[in-house]
Structure 1
Amino acid sequence: MAGRHDYDWVVVGSGFGGSVSALRLAERGYRVAVLETGRRWADDEFPRSAWQLRRYVWAPGLGLRGFLRLSVLDHVSVASGVGVGGGSLSYANTLLVPDEEVFSHPHWSGLRDWVADLAPHYAEARRMLGATTYTHDVGEHDPADGLLHRLAVARGIQAEYRPTDVGVFLGTPGVRVPDPFLDGEGPERTGCTRCGDCLLGCRVGAKNTLVKNYLHLAERRGVDILPGHEVSSVRPLDGARGTTGYRVVAEDSSRRWRRRPARTLTAGGVVLAGGAVGTTSLLLALRDRGDLPRVSPRVGSMFRTNGEFVPAVRLPPGTGPEVSHRVSITSDVRLDEDTHVQTLVYGEHAAMMTAALTFHTRPGPTWRRTLQLLGSVLRHPGQVLDGLRAGSRRAVMLLHMQHAPGALRLVLRDGRVRTEQDPDEPLPTHLPLSVEVSREMAALAGGLPQAQLLDSLAGLGMTAHPLGGAVIGATSEEGVVDADQRVFGYDRLLVCDGSVIPANLGSNPSLTITALAELAMSTVPPAHGSGESSTVLATRTVDPAPPTPGPASSGDS
């Protein structure tokens, strides 16, 4: 199909799945463009403080064009990344392989041997993202991790305590060196200074964001990255399966009064990689509008929060060094067969992110929670003032993640993305274990257990790791994409992001999203030199028959 379209492939989104797709498609000889809603960021352009809202928060209708999008839905609030590099700009650098039992979940099982098939792709993802075990000041020398270790000891599960692998260059602090990760093909890097500002965007240049690995190599191989473009339409050129390609329309995402005209590109294939909320809402809109009417009716289902609850502990004054001087997440404890907990800290410049911490309330209607919260504030004004003074310097977030049941359904209503409870496995609004752990750790430290404001007022949890919505399945009656992440009913239309993951992982998903994208791209035939034509991919996108009982197949469905 060379020469018949503007590009061979258009990738929508530049996060973990989109970046992998762009590089691997370019390596296979294809002409690739990446459309990204946000802007491109240099290291020194990231905000110095979270209070610099115009540089931190993405809300273009309000004139805010940062890289952190906060979406408040009916049952959960979602934090996600916007910009060239997607979620890697603002994530906490944590790169973990989930527990193997995650892949025995009914929504995964039978499609392939996930543990075996993903193993080489996890290894490649770790290499590309520069995963390094964090051992600097872990344990007693770090107030937050020291507290987590004491919790593990107190519960008799100290063997479950482990340092995390992080995507950070832990070289000599502040010293710039040639590329240490990609055999000299990557950019120069600067050693981590342990400033703690990972979630603000790394001004030092130590974080292994996607612009320093996958996207850097992709651009060197000729990939065009087009920031400021929000895709509004993907329509098959043949009006059916997309056998002859797609027309992709992207609007100016700046929301300025004087906007660029929409941009239209044609491509032989499209990879959707806008994240669980972005890709799912786009597919819903495209199906309902008639652009992609063959999309499975399962789109929007099995939208998950990774089982996350994020209470906190505020340490008392004078307890030692400030918690904010380290990498954001440096250790992990497996509390039980379903649950992991990690300490998460914000740098001293991210006090805005801890300003919404408040007292725990008991489950119940919003009016009752509000009265409880107001009563706590009136009884303990000194604790409120101490929290404002302490900012992020003494705040330890407790990131709980579970691979337990619990799901929502994303729907479009009056043009807005809404959520509904899944009747078969409703999303829990309360995790007693997370409250128990925050109180236990507060008691160990002599500090104060805390909750997120929206959680305390309305039981509205928060996740930075949304999953599902366009999930993997055996057929279009069970999922939106097959085990190779190809959209049922269409040719050369793939989804490569967290929306394909059908079950909670119970651990940070970035590495898994990357490995799944590597696996999906490994099934795309090269453009030249192999004797295979690009129609090979098209011939494998029909709904497969349900898998027969017996050992898992090698992956082709």
Structure 2
Amino acid sequence: MNNYDFDYLIIGSGFGGSVSAHRLTQKGYSVAVMEMGKRWRAEDFPESNTQVNRYYWRPRIGLRGFFNLRPFRHVAIICGNAVGGGSITYANTLLVPPDSVWEEGSWAGLSDWKKEMPAHYAEAERMLGVTENRIFGTADHLLKEMADLHGVGHTYKPTRVAAFFPPEGEEGGKTYPDPYFGGEGPDRGTCTGCGSCMTGCKYNAKNTLDKNYLYFAEKNGAKVYAETRVVDVRPLDGKADGSAGYEVTTERSTAWVRKQSQTFRVKSVVFSASSLGTQELLFRLKQTGSLPNISDDLGNRVRTNAESIVGIRFPGKDINISEGVAIGSGIHIDEHTHIEATRYGNGHNMMASLMTLMVDGKGPLRILKWFWAMLRHPVTFARAVSPANWARQSLIFLVMQTLDASLNMRFKRRWYWPFSRILCSEGKKIPTNIPQANEFTKKMAAHFNGIPFTTATEVFFNVPFTAHCMGGCAMADTPERGVIDAQNRVFNYQNLYVVDGAMLGANLGVNPSLTITALAERAMSFIPHRDEAIKEATV
């Protein structure tokens, strides 16, 4: 094992990658983490997400932020690119899914999940500092009132979030010595309830991965290569199954001309580049012949939590919906449909450009109804979509369902870009209009004198938004039904793992970050300590 630059090379530093890095360094392995995005400090985050060059990630056109929006035919997917992965820009909500998810999908029957997972969830919550939300803003109070009016007030619950709240009676924004790891972790600031969790916490209060798992991985010797993209992974020494290790080639992700290519010899590789990133890279490696034996099931059954984003705008009212954490509370309007009260920090108005008036229907009829609504009510339309004070005046509903719906991803040439292959979606359309959520939103908008809105992509392209892309490299019992086995090992290869959202085998119906973390803890529990591995190899 001394012939390698690193024992493990991890592609991506999100929830799967950071957990893997920490646990592997604990077990004595040398670890490298390749992260395509930049490293961010609290003081580096933009004052507003209208500062597109510091918020959006599109390095080819000079945008080097941390928020990425990738449009596909069937869905528009939000993801993060940064050291710490999606934890930098996610809504900071960590929920355990219902037990029924383990009885569904490709991972059903692979393990005694209900017995195994509670301990891994508990450790994930400890490391991420998960606690019940303690700062309730206008959005949370409105949601509670709406739930009572709708007859579901008994389902109202505060969210469980990864934030450091101030001690009772103290104001937020103060710095304290590490409150989580007996002084071994970094100093932390306390939450002010500014609502800017998704645009970068400037108070050092959000428990992002660079403050826990990744922090300790680096403290234990892991080397993080920021702004670095992996472009090739191929087996060493003619061993097609990877039993001799891998040669990994990287380049500078933010460079236009000088790519600064590097090559590393490693024993094992962990793909943790997010569901989309891992699928895209594995497709490329399969088609170029670097890893030709990746299962043909790659890209199948990609799920989105059957998600929809709707909301209510309150223009002209003396109201500040921005106060609180990004997602502070939630309700169930029926057994399958969960709604969370969501907000952006005051001044973070960029999302207004992606929203429009809510209209029902599908396809061309829905577009015609939208035009008719715009012509009949031009003032209402202008007030609904105006970016001025949008975050302050907009209560966003993140709607998720446990009902299963999926699509497939493929890697191919398109007529509009025949020069190279790109990741594309295929299959039946996934739901873009959740009628019960729309009815709830319109009813509440009418009662509170607001304007209901939805995403423009739903109206014009019949395409929903999601921040919860899951699956595509699913866990299963055979390579005909999935890409990895029950221990996250890639079928047909040795020393190759997938540990991120791509591994999920069923629709969770809740924010997936905690489940990804818990499953990553489980995956790393199967890997022995380095000393034990060396003894076993020499026997």
Code of the aligned partner of 1:151 = M
What residue in structure 2 maps to residue 252 of structure 1?
252
2-structure distance, mates of 1:227, 1:374: 46
What residue in structure 1 maps to residue 492 of structure 2?
489
Retained in 2: the 8 A contact 1:13–1:35? yes
Question: Which deviates further from its counterpart, 324-333 or 438-447?
Answer: 438-447
Question: Which deviates further from its counterpart, 145-154 or 22-31?
Answer: 145-154
What residue in structure 2 maps to residue 510 of structure 1?
513
What residue in structure 1 maps to residue 417 of structure 2?
none
What residue in structure 2 maps to residue 379 of structure 1?
376
- TM-score, normalised via structure 2 length: 0.94
What residue in structure 2 maps to residue 335 of structure 1?
333
Question: Which deviates further from its counterpart, 436-445 or 516-525?
Answer: 436-445
Code of the aligned partner of 2:508 = L
Question: Which deviates further from its counterpart, 436-445 or 290-299?
Answer: 436-445
Retained in 2: the 8 A contact 1:229–1:252? yes
Mapped pair 1:161 → 2:156: yes
2-structure distance, mates of 1:453, 1:477: 38
Query: How far did residue 535 of structure 1 move?
Result: 9.4
Mapped pair 1:52 → 2:51: yes
Code of the aligned partner of 2:224 = I
Question: Which deviates further from its counterpart, 329-338 or 217-226?
Answer: 329-338
**1:50 match: secondary structure:** coil
What residue in structure 2 maps to residue 354 of structure 1?
352
For structure 1, the 5+ residue unaligned runs are 537-557
Paired residues for 1:394-433 under 5 Å: 394-414=393-413, 415-421=421-427, 427-433=430-436
What residue in structure 1 maps to residue 29 of structure 2?
30
Mark the CA change 1:532 to 1:508 in structure 2 (over 3 Å): closer, same or farther.
Answer: farther
Question: Which deviates further from its counterpart, 355-364 or 69-78?
Answer: 355-364
Question: Which deviates further from its counterpart, 101-110 or 270-279?
Answer: 101-110
Question: Which deviates further from its counterpart, 102-111 or 31-40?
Answer: 102-111
Paired residues for 1:270-309 under 5 Å: 270-309=269-308
2-structure distance, mates of 1:96, 1:384: 36
Retained in 2: the 8 A contact 1:525–1:532? no
Paired residues for 1:91-110 under 5 Å: 91-110=90-109
State the aligned residue count. 525
Retained in 1: the 8 A contact 2:35–2:227? yes
Query: How far did residue 375 of structure 1 move?
Result: 2.4
2-structure distance, mates of 1:479, 1:175: 48
What residue in structure 2 maps to residue 143 of structure 1?
138
Retained in 1: the 8 A contact 2:253–2:259? no
Retained in 2: the 8 A contact 1:527–1:533? no
CA displacement 1:359-390 (0-9 Å, x = unmatched): 12333334x43333222222222223323233
2-structure distance, mates of 1:465, 1:311: 16
What residue in structure 2 maps to residue 525 of structure 1?
528
2-structure distance, mates of 1:311, 1:532: 57
Code of the aligned partner of 1:168 = A
Query: How far did residue 530 of structure 1 move?
Result: 7.3
**1:533 match: secondary structure:** helix
**1:519 match: secondary structure:** helix
2-structure distance, mates of 1:354, 1:199: 15
Retained in 2: the 8 A contact 1:525–1:534? no
For structure 2, the 5+ residue unaligned runs are 414-420
Retained in 2: the 8 A contact 1:148–1:441? no
2-structure distance, mates of 1:437, 1:495: 39
2-structure distance, mates of 1:271, 1:327: 33
1-structure distance, mates of 2:147, 2:173: 33
CA displacement 1:183-216 (0-9 Å, x = unmatched): 2111101111111111111111111110000111
Paired residues for 1:198-277 under 5 Å: 198-237=197-236, 238-257=238-257, 259-277=258-276
1-structure distance, mates of 2:220, 2:313: 48
Retained in 2: the 8 A contact 1:472–1:485? yes
Query: How far did residue 36 of structure 1 move?
Result: 0.4
Code of the aligned partner of 2:424 = R
**1:166 match: secondary structure:** strand
Query: How far did residue 430 of structure 1 move?
Result: 2.4
Code of the aligned partner of 1:64 = L
Mark the CA change 1:421 to 1:535 in structure 2 (over 3 Å): closer, same or farther.
Answer: farther
Retained in 2: the 8 A contact 1:361–1:457? no
**2:90 match: secondary structure:** coil
1-structure distance, mates of 2:200, 2:353: 19
Question: Which deviates further from its counterpart, 368-377 or 457-466?
Answer: 368-377
Mark the CA change 1:316 to 1:51 in structure 2 (over 3 Å): closer, same or farther.
Answer: closer
2-structure distance, mates of 1:273, 1:187: 24
CA displacement 1:313-366 (0-9 Å, x = unmatched): 112533x54010111001111222222110110111211112332112333334
Code of the aligned partner of 2:147 = A
**2:230 match: secondary structure:** strand
Code of the aligned partner of 1:94 = T
Mark the CA change 1:111 to 1:377 in structure 2 (over 3 Å): closer, same or farther.
Answer: same
Retained in 1: the 8 A contact 2:305–2:404? no
Paired residues for 1:434-445 under 5 Å: 434-445=437-448
Paired residues for 1:54-69 under 5 Å: 54-69=53-68
Mapped pair 1:369 → 2:375: no
2-structure distance, mates of 1:384, 1:136: 32
**1:123 match: secondary structure:** helix
Paired residues for 1:314-329 under 5 Å: 314-318=313-317, 321-329=319-327
Retained in 1: the 8 A contact 2:174–2:190? yes
2-structure distance, mates of 1:531, 1:15: 29
Retained in 1: the 8 A contact 2:303–2:471? yes
Query: How far did residue 56 of structure 1 move?
Result: 0.3
Mark the CA change 1:129 to 1:461 in structure 2 (over 3 Å): closer, same or farther.
Answer: same
2-structure distance, mates of 1:478, 1:433: 34
Retained in 1: the 8 A contact 2:319–2:393? no
What residue in structure 1 maps to residue 453 of structure 2?
450
Structure 1 residue ranges, 4+ long, deviating more than 6 angstroms after superposition: none
CA displacement 1:159-182 (0-9 Å, x = unmatched): 211101111111241110001112
What residue in structure 2 maps to residue 390 of structure 1?
389
Code of the aligned partner of 2:503 = V
CA displacement 1:475-516 (0-9 Å, x = unmatched): 111110111111111111111100010211000110000000
Retained in 1: the 8 A contact 2:250–2:262? yes
Code of the aligned partner of 1:491 = Q
Query: How far did residue 226 of structure 1 move?
Result: 0.2
Query: How far did residue 529 of structure 1 move?
Result: 5.2
Among candidates 474, 477, 497, match of residue 474 of structure 1? 477
Query: How far did residue 298 of structure 1 move?
Result: 0.5
Query: How far did residue 152 of structure 1 move?
Result: 2.2
CA displacement 1:252-290 (0-9 Å, x = unmatched): 111423x23211111100000001110011111111111
Code of the aligned partner of 2:371 = L
Code of the aligned partner of 1:512 = T
Mark the CA change 1:535 to 1:345 in structure 2 (over 3 Å): closer, same or farther.
Answer: farther
Retained in 2: the 8 A contact 1:70–1:79? yes
Retained in 2: the 8 A contact 1:197–1:349? no
Question: Which deviates further from its counterpart, 505-514 or 451-460?
Answer: 451-460
Mapped pair 1:174 → 2:169: no
What residue in structure 2 maps to residue 543 of structure 1?
none
